[in-house]
Amino acid sequence: MTERTFVMVKPDGVQRGLIGEIVGRFEDRGLKLVGAKFVEIDRDLAEEHYGEHEDEPFFEDLVDFITSGPVMAMVWEGQDAVAQVRAMMGETDPAESAPGTVRGDLGLDLGRNVIHGSDTEEGSAEREIDLFFDDDELVDYERIDEQWLYE
């Protein structure tokens, strides 16, 4: 099923010059970029975005980190996009992530895990996309290779 998912290159990924590497992986896979913005997240947005973790001991550090510099926020579309992006990201902890995944290739530490992607829980992706993007910031278009990506 065609779906959209929210992806973000976190401040560590931006500072380490990994935006292009990460965008390239999703492009090469055949996923379609339908929205993107390079922004600094304020505390309110960070706390709302990570609301599910507000009772965790790492919550403050997480909000500090995600607001510590610019992020590349994106929406990617494609068949089974939410789960496929999660698979390409690796595990939450880069140390446990398989080589070949973003976190397994580009990170080492749980608190600096380079990328965010919506989880597969029903409604997560929609909630995060709505948090970061207005409807008119998302673009409907066809990629020229779509007939060769999908049967």
**Comparison of 62 and 138: residue with beta carbon closer to ligand DAT:** 62
**53 labelled catalytic:** no
92/111 Cα distance (integer angstroms): 9
Binding of ligand DAT by 110 (CB under 6 A):
yes
Taking CA atoms, 15 is separated from 20, 104, 145, in Å, by 12, 18, 32
| Segment interacting with ligand DAT, rule: CB under 6 A, options 21-29, 33-41, 108-116, 125-133 | 108-116
Q: One symbol per residue from 47 to 86: x for binding ligand DAT (CB under 6 A), - otherwise; what is it?
A: ------x----x---x------------------------
C-beta separation of 114 from 107 below 8 A:
yes
Among candidates 5, 6, 22, 3, which has minimal Cα distance to 113?
22
CB of 115 to Mg ion, least distance (A): 11
Locate 33 and state its tokens: 């970029």
**Residue numbers of the site for ligand DAT (CB under 6 A)?**
53, 58, 62, 92, 110-111, 113, 116, 119
